[in-house]
Amino acid sequence: MIDARGLRFAYPNGVVGLDGVDLRVQEGERVAVLGPNGAGKTTLMLHLNALLKGTGELTVAGTSDAKALRALVGLVFQDPDDQLFMPTVREDVAFGPLNQRVPDVEARVEKALRAVRMRDFADRAPHQLSLGQKRRVAIATVLAMDPKVLVLDEPSANLDPRTRRELIETLETIDRTLLVVSHDLPLAARLCERSVLLSAGRVVADGPTLELLADEPLLAAHDLELPEGFDLTRLLRTASPRSRPAASASGP
Amino acid sequence: MSSLRESGVVGDSAIHRLDPRAKLVGLLAVTVIAVSSAAWPVHAACAVALLLVAAAARIGPRVIVRRARLILLPVLLVALFARTAFPPVAAKATIGTVSAVLLGATTSFPDVLHALERLKVPRLLVLIAAFMYRYLFTIVDEVQRMRAALTARGYAPRHALQVQAIGRVATALFLRTYERAERVHLAMLARGFDERMPRLHAPAFRRADALFLTALAPLLAVRVVA
Ligand SMILES: Nc1ncnc2c1ncn2[C@@H]1O[C@H](COP(=O)(O)OP(=O)(O)OP(=O)(O)O)[C@@H](O)[C@H]1O
Ligand SMILES: [Mg+2]
């Protein structure tokens, strides 16, 4: 589905954002992209929509055309205030489908808002929502475009525990290729069977999430750590019957 | 910024459900009629019309006074010192302000934006107004956070030199707003933005809207006769 080879990108001020990233993601896979601040996670995400263009190769479902990429890959930005720019929630969710000129815009808006349990808020202005609600609407704006791949940047940042849990539950029900950029290791463990560790613009580890999270020296070397008292072994036990083989996950 | 938050639609009524274009045109007409005339019968007729609209919309005097005084007090003060006769100026200002308050209390800002757009106001202007509405609160929040940060570190300007910090805050705010604009633009591109703002649905102009405008027509007659 996603195929990146030797992706390199430097910002105009000379800061290297990506320093040769290789990443392959199969259809239906759920992958966590972990890494410390400034690792290049957001930079990588912007490449998936051709909002930044580095050297190297990047294709999604075989294409690298900007317009096609934006239809295939839905980005949920780090700050929902950046994502929600229309005067009402409904119009914001409709923005993408209207640009795609699909016929069933209203139905898509309804469906997307229902998926994140925000249907009753359709006529509110975004600034009248709480942060957790804004995040959910931000996810709906992308779901309404029916992308093959959903990419979320720090979806759990600044959420209270309950809203965070609800968000995880919402994401668990979304059945498509998922890339979650996060520092929230427990969230990665719950949602994604595979994790990629990005550091200083390179992929430094790539494997099953639980193995990666069990590797304390690796995490420490890249400024990551599990929360105090977090019991990985418990997750191991509960996760095994639930974990699904990537290939069986059916995209929409 | 409690005054900012003290805006928005109050209640629900037949007036609330009118086409925003009808309300915008109707209430604007009341203001124009009042401002363009110095005759007191015209002002009285406009005031009566506004009272009727307020009654039909079930907007109480408390709401109107609370919202109108924000604008009206300074305007009236200026009028008091102007050399022109006070009563007609005050009447014009009051009618104009109350019209705006009634529009705001019965029509959400997004609806006003749509009305402007459909009344063929240049898109760019409508777009600017829409973004201002969307980000005004975000920017106000940012200002408040910065102010809190200054105060938390003991900033309490006593003389002019200390005011320097405000300049830096203004710069920081400008940069943050600029960066935000850049990120919002990216987010718009990511969802297929192609320089044209798409529109969801257009409310239809119905009989009730025509009735509302017809009901305001006698004002024009008063204006012409007076
Ligand atoms: N607009 C920009 N201009 C210049 N440099 C930038 C810009 N955005 C990011 N960078 C730099 O590029 C590098 C990678 O940034 P990126 O935003 O991808 O990190 P990240 O992994 O998303 O970090 P975080 O976890 O803090 O969100 C950082 O060193 C950062 O300082
Ligand atoms: Mg980031």
Same domain, B11 and B99: yes
Cβ neighbors of B40 (< 8 A, separation 6 or more) are: B87, B88, B91
> What pLDDT sits at residue A240?
47
> What pLDDT sits at residue A141?
94
Q: Which two tokens stand for residue B172?
A: 């920081």
Put simply, whether A43 touches B (Cβ < 8 Å) is: no
> What pLDDT sits at residue A32?
95
Top pLDDT among B192 and A9 is at A9
Same domain, B114 and B215: yes
How many Å lie between the centroid of ligand 1 and the Cα of residue A232? 30
Lowest mean pLDDT across A102-111, A232-241, B141-150, B179-188: A232-241
- B201 pLDDT more than 80: no
Q: Mean pLDDT over all residues of chain B?
A: 83
Same domain, B165 and B142: yes
Mutation choice for A interface testing from B12, B126, B200 by most A CBs within 10 A: B200
- A244 pLDDT more than 70: no
Q: Is residue B84 part of a domain?
A: yes
Residue A213 burial (10 A CB sphere; 0-12, 13-18, 19+): buried
ipTM of predicted assembly, 2 dp: 0.77
Q: Is residue B75 part of a domain?
A: yes
> What pLDDT sits at residue A60?
94
Mean per-residue pLDDT, B191-209: 77
**How many structural domains are present in chain B?**
2
Q: Any idea what DSSP says for residue A150?
A: E
Q: Mean pLDDT over all residues of chain A?
A: 88
Q: Is residue B197 part of a domain?
A: no
- B197 pLDDT more than 90: no
Same domain, B112 and B159: no
Mean per-residue pLDDT, B65-72: 85
Q: Catalogue the long-range contacts made by A240-245 (C-beta closer than 8 Å, 24 or more residues apart).
A: A243/A193, A244/A193
- B1 pLDDT more than 60: no
Which positions in chain B touch A142 (Cβ < 8 Å)?
A: 191
Put simply, whether B86 touches A (Cβ < 8 Å) is: no
- A252 pLDDT more than 70: no
Strands of the A177-182 sheet, one edge to the other:
A73-76, A149-153, A177-182, A30-34, A194-199, A202-208
Same domain, B147 and B175: yes
Q: Which two tokens stand for residue A58?
A: 């990047």
Same domain, B170 and B221: no
Return d(Cα A24, Cα B128) in angstroms, integer. 42
What domains, with CATH codes, occur in chain A? Answer: 2-238 (3.40.50.300)
Same domain, B61 and B154: no
A41: pLDDT confidence band, cut at 50, 70 and 90? very high
Count of CB atoms situated within 10 Å of the CB of B111: 23
> What pLDDT sits at residue A251?
39
> What pLDDT sits at residue A43?
94
Q: What are the two backbone dihedrals, phi and then psi, of residue A62, each rounded to the nearest 5 degrees?
A: 85, 0
Q: What are the two backbone dihedrals, phi and then psi, of residue A190, each rounded to the nearest 5 degrees?
A: -75, -35
User: A49–B180: do the CB atoms touch at under 8 Å?
Assistant: no
Which positions in chain A touch B142 (Cβ < 8 Å)?
A: none
In short, whether A80's Cβ falls inside 6 Å of ligand 1 is: no
Q: Is residue B196 part of a domain?
A: no
User: A99–B191: do the CB atoms touch at under 8 Å?
Assistant: yes
Same domain, B106 and B208: yes
Residue closest by Cα to atom 16 of ligand 1: A40
Same domain, B76 and B7: yes
pLDDT tens for each residue of A47-57: 999 999 999 99
A248: pLDDT confidence band, cut at 50, 70 and 90? very low
User: B191–A96: do the CB atoms touch at under 8 Å?
Assistant: yes
> What pLDDT sits at residue B106?
92
Return d(Cα B37, Cα B34) in angstroms, integer. 6
- B159 pLDDT more than 70: no
Which positions in chain A touch B134 (Cβ < 8 Å)?
A: 84-87, 125-127
Which run of H or of E encompasses A47?
helix A41-47
pLDDT tens for each residue of A122-149: 988 888 898 889 999 999 999 999 999 9
Q: Is residue B90 part of a domain?
A: yes
Same domain, B92 and B15: yes
> What pLDDT sits at residue A149?
95
Same domain, B157 and B73: no
Q: Any idea what DSSP says for residue B194?
A: -
User: A82–B180: do the CB atoms touch at under 8 Å?
Assistant: yes
Report which of A216, A235, A114 is spatially closest to residue A174, judged by C-alpha positions. Answer: A114
The domain of B52 spans 2-118+202-225
Same domain, B167 and B208: no
> What pLDDT sits at residue A20?
93
pLDDT tens for each residue of A153-169: 999 887 888 888 888 88
Determine the distance from the C-alpha atom of residue A202 to the mean position of all C-alpha atoms in its chain, rounded to a whole number. 18
B45: pLDDT confidence band, cut at 50, 70 and 90? very high
